[in-house]
């Protein structure tokens, strides 16, 4: 065979492979079925539907998986227990309007939606960007059937999980048989509606783990839920349904909850486990037990041998019925099995206590919902099964004990402490009365005389924090005169905790006044924090604070005035953008990097800014950048500077600039600022905000878009055209690469700021060398 024929056959073979990878639209219609080799992709390309084979298997399944996650992660399988033997499968709409899976060598459907539809013309199937496959009426779009109602092993955002009481449909998760076999496994994860509904994990019908009831904020037995900042849960328990769903509050984040063999439930986010629940033993033989107050081991000798299967019993020979008994409070508890509890949602917590106290068979009580001070009443009248105490989370359980145990428990937990609490209460009441009297004096005497009252305690605190600095205290009258009584014409902008005004002092010096809002109680600590931190810092790329004012209700910071305002007013404004050429943009990038390096490494304190963004970078007369707004900043490691990471229960900052580990887990470090710098660098190069969407990739933000073009070798397409056409490709490409290194998902993979500054210096050195070579060669012509 000659060479041209060989080339033709090779081309036809490659074309056939290409056709097998053909990507279809997001819809199956009666005249457009889905064949093996074709992939159905949702509108924003988030999920894909098609035929697949698990690793090391030739069996074919119809499934849904993440389209943009590098490792194929299947979230739903149609024919999990009836795989195909070859690639002759077709997913189509049959003559009755059902979605069916057929194979050419079989005369009957392998899988079907099995719903009542009049005809094929009355239905179509569409894959949504939520991962839900919906069979719907083509005109009304009303769902006839949806995959979210028949989950396999995965629970996705916006999916209702639980029981529909009207239809009896119970949405539960069932594990795969193994990693490479999606068949129905042995483990199930579901909501048990008996008594007070609660989570259960079963293996072969035997309870392995109990998540407890919904407390109004979390499951009683899942304290880890308090650390998932990107998720918002919604729980419903009414005559129609018992369901829970969760929504993702951060954009462009993929997350799922999956049940696996041999009985593991875990949540994964971008292939990074943010929190994992392993099988929490439901059987008391599987973990070390202790007895609750008023209980003792049923068989002491067994307990000495670490055999707790016999459990605990009430202390014998004591009376808990109208004999001075009471309740001890156990904090952070996964409450006992609520399928054995009585529920009365009409009672308050105090009414619940009284009802339990009157009923001698009532062993314990708690609120059914912890919100609003406690709603509803849960009581137990028998065994208290599977009760656990955590270091955090859970809820309070009020346990009935006899008079002797109540007294002993009070003594062991500090009777003198209780007396101390009483004394503290008395002192507190006295202090409150004193404050009320002081307030009366304030309003009727001080206000009457129109005298200025200075918040001396706050000032003393700030004076202590800013000792050994040149920070000046400004009188309120001086600031009022400088800003012309905070006139609108002098207003420079407005932030989360107040407004910023331009001012001019008597000596002609211009200042910027950050005025804390009177109604922003949240911002007082940030105000003190900013004064304390920035007073100790001096660097050409950090905004300089001149002083502060704490007087009456007013709290203000006085900064040097920077006439060019913030960086975002230039890079995101089509008109002003043209005032910045590439050379100036690069200088701004290097200045910001040096400022962050100073905070992380070169200052007396290691400081993490936590809110680095374009609007918090100010520009002076010469367009030199100065990092501002240290209200969210945190000092870590003290002057020793040996600490580089911390965590917080309160995530602050701006989504889009937050690193994944900070937004999801509250863990922040110097690498969190590196991530924010990377986002800022890419915004400067592209002239686009990170939350910008793209017509060819609507679900992707700026970072995702840049990664996509970088992998295709088209990174230069993102450079903002207003920067001119004289940007050296290698210089821009290296800066894009530095930005992408900084925004890597895992903190350990990102460079530190000293490395970033060094890389930028290498780019600057290379550019300067090229310019020198150019001037030597061509300078004579100019």
pLDDT at 91: 94
Angle ∠(283,286,291) on CA atoms, nearest 5: 80
- Pairing mode of beta strands 510-516, 554-560: antiparallel
SS3 content of the chain, % helix, strand, coil (to 5): 30, 30, 40
Q: Does domain 568-770 have CATH number 3.30.530.20?
A: no
DSSP 8-state class, residue 329: E
Distances from the Cα of 194 to the Cα of 279, 290, 398, angstroms:
21, 27, 22
Give the Å distances, CA to CA, from 364 to 81, 213, 327, 383: 45, 15, 8, 10
Distance, C-alpha 143 to centroid of its chain: 31
Q: Look up the CATH number of domain 456-560.
A: 3.30.200.20
Q: Please say whether the beta carbons of 67 and 47 come within 8 A.
A: yes
Average model confidence (pLDDT) across the chain: 79
- Can you give the pLDDT at residue 1? 47
Q: What CATH number does domain 22-150 carry, 1.25.40.80, 3.40.50.2300, 2.90.10.10, 3.40.630.10?
A: 2.90.10.10
Give the pair of three-digit tokens for residue 347.
Answer: 């009672």
Q: Per the annotation, does 536 bind a ligand?
A: no
| CA–CA separation, 198 and 340 (whole Å) | 11
Burial 298-326 (b: 16+ CB within 10 A, else e): eeeeebeeeebebbbebbeeeebeeeebb
E strand or H helix that includes residue 503: strand 498-504
The pLDDT of residue 50 = 95
pLDDT tens string 606-632: 888 888 999 889 999 889 999 988 767
Q: What are the boundaries of each domain within the chain?
A: 22-150, 160-282, 284-413, 456-560, 568-770
pLDDT of residue 181: 94
What are 764's two structure tokens?
A: 């600057």
Question: 70-93 pLDDT, tens per residue?
Answer: 778 999 999 999 999 888 899 999
Distance CA 754, CA 419 (A): 56
pLDDT the model gives residue 454: 38
Classify residue 116 by burial, with Cβ atoms within 10 Å: 0-12, 13-18, 19+. Answer: exposed
Cα dihedral 16/18/21/22 (nearest 10): -100
pTM over 0.75: no
Q: Which stretches in the chain have pLDDT values below 70?
A: 1-24, 118, 224-230, 250-252, 270-288, 304, 306, 391, 411-470, 495-497, 518-526, 529-530, 631, 633, 635-653, 693-700, 724-726, 766-782
Return left, alpha or beta for 53; rule: phi > 0 is left, psi -120 to 50 is alpha, else beta: beta
Instruction: Give the span between the Cα atoms of 374 and 350, in whole angstroms.
Output: 9
pLDDT at residue 763 in the model:
84
Q: Which residues are catalytic?
A: 611
| The pLDDT value given to residue 750 | 92
| Collapsed DSSP state (helix, strand, coil) of residue 166 | coil
- Given this model, what pLDDT does residue 331 score? 87
Q: Smallest Cα–Cα separation from 69: which of 49, 89, 47, 51? A: 47
């Amino acid at each position: 065979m000659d060479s041209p024929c060989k080339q033709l056959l090779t081309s036809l073979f490659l074309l056939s492979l290409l056709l097998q990878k053909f990507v279809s639209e997001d819809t199956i219609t009666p005249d457009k079925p889905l064949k093996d080799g074709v992939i159905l992709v949702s509108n924003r390309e988030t999920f894909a539907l098609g035929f697949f084979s698990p690793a090391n298997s030739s069996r074919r399944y119809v499934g849904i998986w993440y389209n943009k996650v590098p490792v194929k992660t299947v979230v739903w399988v149609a024919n999990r227990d009836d795989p195909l033997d070859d690639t002759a499968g077709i997913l189509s709409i049959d003559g009755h309007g059902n979605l069916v899976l057929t194979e050419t060598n079989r005369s009957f459907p392998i899988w079907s939606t099995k719903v009542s539809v009049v005809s094929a013309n009355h239905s179509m199937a569409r894959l949504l960007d939520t991962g839900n496959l919906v069979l719907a009426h083509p005109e009304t779009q009303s769902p006839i059937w949806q995959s979210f109602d028949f989950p396999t092993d995965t629970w996705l955002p916006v999916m209702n999980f639980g029981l529909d009481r009207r239809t009896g449909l119970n949405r539960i998760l069932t594990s795969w048989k193994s990693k490479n076999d999606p068949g129905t496994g042995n483990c199930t994860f579901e909501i048990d509606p008996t008594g007070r509904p609660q989570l259960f994990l079963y293996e072969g019908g035997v309870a392995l783990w109990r998540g407890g009831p919904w407390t109004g904020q979390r499951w009683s037995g899942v304290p880890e839920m308090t650390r998932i900042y990107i998720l918002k849960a919604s729980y419903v328990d009414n005559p129609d349904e018992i369901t829970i769903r969760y929504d993702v509050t951060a954009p462009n984040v993929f997350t799922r909850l999956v049940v696996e063999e041999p009985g593991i439930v875990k949540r994964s986010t971008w292939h990074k486990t943010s929190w994992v629940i392993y099988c929490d033993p439901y059987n008391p033989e599987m973990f070390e037990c202790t007895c609750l107050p008023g209980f003792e081991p049923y068989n002491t000798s067994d307990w000495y041998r670490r055999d707790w299967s016999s459990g605990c019993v009430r202390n014998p020979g004591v009376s808990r019925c109208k004999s001075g008994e009471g309740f001890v409070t156990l904090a952070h508890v996964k409450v006992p099995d609520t399928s054995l509890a009585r529920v009365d949602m009409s009672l308050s917590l105090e009414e619940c206590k009284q009802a339990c106290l009157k009923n001698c068979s009532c062993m314990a009580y708690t609120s059914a919902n912890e919100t609003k001070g406690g709603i509803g009443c849960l009581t137990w009248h028998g065994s208290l099964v599977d009760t656990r105490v955590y270091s955090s989370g859970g809820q309070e359980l009020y346990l009935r004990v006899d008079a002797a145990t109540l007294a002993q428990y009070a003594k062991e937990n500090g009777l003198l402490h209780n007396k101390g609490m009483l004394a503290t209460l008395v002192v507190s009441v006295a202090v409150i009365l004193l404050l009320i009297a002081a307030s009366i004096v304030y309003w009727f005497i001080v206000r009457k005389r129109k005298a200025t009252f200075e918040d001396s305690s706050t000032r003393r605190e700030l004076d202590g924090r800013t000792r050994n600095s040149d920070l000046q205290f400004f009188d309120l009258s001086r600031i009022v005169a400088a800003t012309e009584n905070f006139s609108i014409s002098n207003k420079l902008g407005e932030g989360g905790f107040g407004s910023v005004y331009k001012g001019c002092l008597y000596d002609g010096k211009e200042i910027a006044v950050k005025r804390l809002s009177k109604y922003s109680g949240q911002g007082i600590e940030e105000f003190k924090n900013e004064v304390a931190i920035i007073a100790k810092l001096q660097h050409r790329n950090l905004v300089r604070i001149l002083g502060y004012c704490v007087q009456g209700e007013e709290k203000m910071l006085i900064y040097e005035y920077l006439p060019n305002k913030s960086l975002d007013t230039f890079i995101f404004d089509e008109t002003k953008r043209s005032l910045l050429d590439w050379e100036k943009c690069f200088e701004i990038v290097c200045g910001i990097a040096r400022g962050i390096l100073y905070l992380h490494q070169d200052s007396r304190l290691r400081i993490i800014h936590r809110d680095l963004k374009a609007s918090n970078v100010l520009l002076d007369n010469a367009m030199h950048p100065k990092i501002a707004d240290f209200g969210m900043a945190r000092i870590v490691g003290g002057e020793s500077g040996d600490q580089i990471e911390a965590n917080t229960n309160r995530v602050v900052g701006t989504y889009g600039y937050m690193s994944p580990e900070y937004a999801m887990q509250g863990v922040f470090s110097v690498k969190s600022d590196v991530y924010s710098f990377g986002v800022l660098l890419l915004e400067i190069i592209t002239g686009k905000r990170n939350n910008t969407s793209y017509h060819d990739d609507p679900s992707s933000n700026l970072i995702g878009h840049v990664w996509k073009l970088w992998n295709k070798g088209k990174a230069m397409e993102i450079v903002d055209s207003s920067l001119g056409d004289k940007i050296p490709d290698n210089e821009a490409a290296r800066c894009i690469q530095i930005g992408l290194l900084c925004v890597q998902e895992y903190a350990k993979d990102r460079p530190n700021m000293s490395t970033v500054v060094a890389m930028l210096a290498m780019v600057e050195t290379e550019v300067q060398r090229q310019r020198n070579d150019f001037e030597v060669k061509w300078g004579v012509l100019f």
